[in-house]
Structure 1
Amino acid sequence: MLNVIGKIGLAASALAFSASMASADVTLQDGTVLSDAPTFIVTYIEADAASSDAVKALIEDQTSASTQEDGNLRFEGLQRIGQDNHFVIIEAWASADERNSHAASDHTIAFRNTLEPMLYAPYDERPHVGLDAADPSSIPAGDADTVYVITHADIIPPEQFAPCDRQVDASGPCGNAMMTDLAEFSRDHDGSMRFDILTQSNRANHMTVVEMWDSSASQAAHQITDAKKAFRNELSGIPAAGGVNPDPQFVLNMLTGSLWDERLYTLISN
């Protein structure tokens, strides 16, 4: 049974945040609170291709040390399929305070300092809370066959809640409801091991989708389901059954400020 950590209400048209030294909870304008327990971290690492093996070894060592720390719920190192000098680290911590203690630890500081000369892009670490996410303890461990999919989603703020003028029907579904609906129907697809929607703590219209599939075949089959196709169409501001607009001058009226950029990874450490 999935333990849903957070769901967004549909009444608000803008977002507000509240944070203190003791809390990184995210409060929506309608009063909905997304808890920072657990706190999720998604980190993108892009390295010199010649350093791929060295970076992989560093991430493996960092995983071993981090999983021993108080408050760690999950720590996964991933390597991008087809571009093996790109990595992602997915972390879950019982609280923001415990995650902050980890960030200040000697082994984390040494990890980042050793990694830095091998990078060709900045170390891109993004804190998140659960928008619609499973209890980390309920998620099965990945293995060599598991396909991870990490997607950065950038919903244009006025399109998060009704009225969303870029949608075919301004009453919705709008951006946030579309994201939580995506998680719900995807979890029912064969081979789904995890389908979490995380929202950035400092910018709640930016989200990260974290998927786990038991095989590449299951992930590929999910992609071509009617429900997934409808989601992609609606995200583009066209009818769910659309795909190609008959008007040759038609410009997609995206609800997003960026591409829906799905990236596939394999597990290297957990």
Structure 2
Amino acid sequence: MTTQLPPDFADWLRLREPADAAARSADLVDAVRRRLPAGRPVVVHDLGSGTGSMARWLAPRLPGPQRWVLHERDPDLLALAAAEPVLAADGSPVTVQTRDSDITRLAGADLADAHLVTASALLDMLTAGEVERVVAACAGHPTLFALSVVGRVEFTPADPLDAGFTAAFNAHQRRTVAGRTLLGPDAARVAAAAFRRRGIEVAVRSSPWRLGPEQAALTAEWLAGWLDAAVEERPDLAPAAEAYRRRRLAEAAAGGLRVVLHHDDLLAG
């Protein structure tokens, strides 16, 4: 995957990390624990690791000792991920290794020693063919994919323009970039079907962001990106978008806006 990340992408990942942590399915983590080997170090491969938020969230919920292998193309993100120490649930050490890795070219050999494969907010940025490749590489290992957008957003209070902007954003998520047609909100469903075709059981849980007054900064940043993507897809929405943006940001600043942004988590294997 060759997408160029914006220079402030690490800041965005840090801003969203508490909402991600609150949203991910604890129920699936309980199931993960039952699939891990006892009496020896657990090896976890994290795909598209970003700044390491999945390791910071999941490692303290799993027994130790653990070794995490972080797969990421951006060396600056890998450096940030490796710099922050993590402990397992029982206080055992967690070692972190970083790997410059193109997830779209992942092969089974890259995950040969894994007891668990994880990813967070990754699948919707892949194509159908890339998801097939990732699933094929992960088959045979318990795999936890968290926080794949599913195309549903709920605003309180509601606005007549919500549905139009949501549809435009979802179309943008499915856009074709440099010959790659992204799955966007279809990704979790496509990944689950790919596992099931291989005879692998899949459990799916809802993992929505729930944004209220305490997350006003995140809401404002997310809303700006959400509207920009919708207008990029549908330029005719630009005049309405500016008034909508001002109205929604004022509601968020006043503590009167709540947003539920739906995702799915899935556990395979």
More helix by share: 2
Is this a same-fold pair by TM over 0.5? Answer: no
Using the size of structure 2 for normalisation, the TM-score is 0.29
- Tell which has more relative contact order, 1 or 2 (C-alpha 8 A, sep 6+): 1
Using the size of structure 1 for normalisation, the TM-score is 0.29
More strand by share: 1
